[in-house]
């Protein structure tokens, strides 16, 4: 079994998600090589062959040329799987490539077992096993699903693509304006999940946050329900945070949310479901009704 890992290079830096692709391959014993569009001075810790195309020449985003380059590497290496991160780049490129190669695409993979891929469904409430009907496949991996591995010195081989006229021109990145709360700088975050029951109950978490001098965060279901604004969302489609203390109130722990708070120093989770996935990563896991426990905790902290 062999995989071609498609690394990402953005604004002159290697994306950390690249090492999650390596972690996936290492975890399941899959031989792997990598493709990357980057500059010569890219800092890459990788213990296998990497095909590098010049970012100055081919730009960090150019789907026509990047697809052509990956096709050339795939022809040389004959991988069983071509693997992207489930990012904006991966979403765009994976399906283009699957159509070109006439192979199955599988998105948001969070697990693997001998040719069968595990993917979330129903807003991550369930998981399903997917096996491609084609012998080869193009895969995207959910952010945070696999532990990153960064080690070794790559064997670099330069690659070029000639004779193709791109249909788009990459100009630059335009960052969205900063709105609402900036959770990336918060030292303490009290984060609210669907388990609080209703919008009005969030006042309990706000009081706890005020007592601790913390910021309020939220899971995606809370934002989707319009209980809190999107600027409070933590996760792959929200903010990535690294507070000293993260208190998860009524959050089950979908992979997308865990990916956004995995760098937290100390995690306290409160959930009445003793089997909630967040319990696996919490330093302290309180099995209790969050609406009963949080007021008691707040009262104790105020009297301390």
pLDDT for res 239? 85
Identify whether the C-beta of residue 194 lies closer than 8 Å to the C-beta of residue 222.
Answer: yes
Identify whether the C-beta of residue 132 lies closer than 8 Å to the C-beta of residue 106.
Answer: yes
Q: Where are the domains of the chain?
A: 2-158, 183-303
Measured between its terminal Cα atoms, the distance across the chain in Å is: 58
The strand pair at 81-85 and 137-141 is best described as: parallel
> Which CATH code of 3.40.50.80, 3.40.50.1220, 2.30.29.30, 3.40.50.2300 fits the domain covering 183-303?
3.40.50.1220
Contacts with 130 (C-beta within 8 Å, 6 or more apart), sequence order: 106, 116, 117, 118, 119
- The per-residue pLDDT for range 220-230, each reduced to its tens digit, is 999 999 999 88
Check for a shared fold between 2-158 and 183-303. yes
Angle at which helix 88-101 crosses helix 63-77, to 10 degrees, equals 60
**pLDDT < 70: residue spans in the chain:** 123-125, 176-180
pLDDT for res 124? 66
* Distance, CA of 44 to CA of 54 (rounded, Å): 15
**CATH architecture group of domain 2-158:** 3-Layer(aba) Sandwich (3.40)
* Distance, CA of 140 to CA of 17 (rounded, Å): 11
pLDDT for res 218? 95
Contacts with 13 (C-beta within 8 Å, 6 or more apart), sequence order: none
pLDDT for res 123? 64
- The per-residue pLDDT for range 97-156, each reduced to its tens digit, is 999 999 999 998 988 988 899 988 776 667 899 999 999 999 999 887 888 899 999 999
């Amino acid at each position: 079994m062999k995989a071609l890992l498609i690394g990402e290079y953005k604004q002159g830096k290697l994306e950390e998600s690249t090492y999650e692709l390596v972690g996936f391959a290492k975890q399941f014993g899959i031989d792997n090589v990598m493709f990357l569009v980057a500059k010569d001075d890219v800092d890459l810790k990788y213990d296998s062959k990497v095909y590098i195309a010049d970012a100055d020449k081919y730009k960090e985003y150019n789907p026509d040329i990047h697809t052509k380059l990956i096709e050339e590497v795939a022809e040389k290496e004959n991988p069983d799987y071509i693997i992207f991160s489930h990012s904006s780049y991966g979403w765009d490129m994976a399906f283009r490539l699957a159509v070109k190669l006439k192979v199955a695409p599988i998105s948001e993979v969070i697990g693997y077992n001998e040719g069968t891929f595990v993917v979330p469904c129903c807003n991550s409430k369930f998981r399903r096993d997917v096996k491609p009907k084609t012998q080869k496949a193009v895969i995207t991996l959910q952010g945070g699903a696999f532990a990153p591995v960064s080690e070794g010195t790559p064997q670099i081989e330069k690659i070029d693509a000639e004779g193709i006229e791109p249909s788009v021109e990459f100009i630059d990145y335009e960052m969205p304006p900063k709105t609402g709360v900036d959770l990336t700088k918060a030292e303490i975050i009290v984060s609210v999940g669907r388990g609080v029951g209703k919008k009005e109950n969030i006042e309990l978490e706000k009081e706890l946050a005020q007592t601790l001098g913390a910021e309020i965060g939220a899971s995606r279901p809370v934002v989707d329900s319009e209980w809190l604004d999107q600027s409070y969302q933590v996760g792959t489609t929200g903010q990535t945070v690294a507070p000293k203390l993260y208190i998860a109130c009524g959050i089950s722990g979908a992979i997308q949310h865990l990916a956004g708070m995995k760098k937290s120093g100390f995690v306290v989770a409160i959930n009445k479901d003793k089997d909630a996935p967040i319990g696996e990563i919490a330093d302290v896991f309180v099995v209790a009704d969050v609406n009963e426990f949080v007021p008691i905790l707040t009262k104790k902290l105020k009297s301390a």
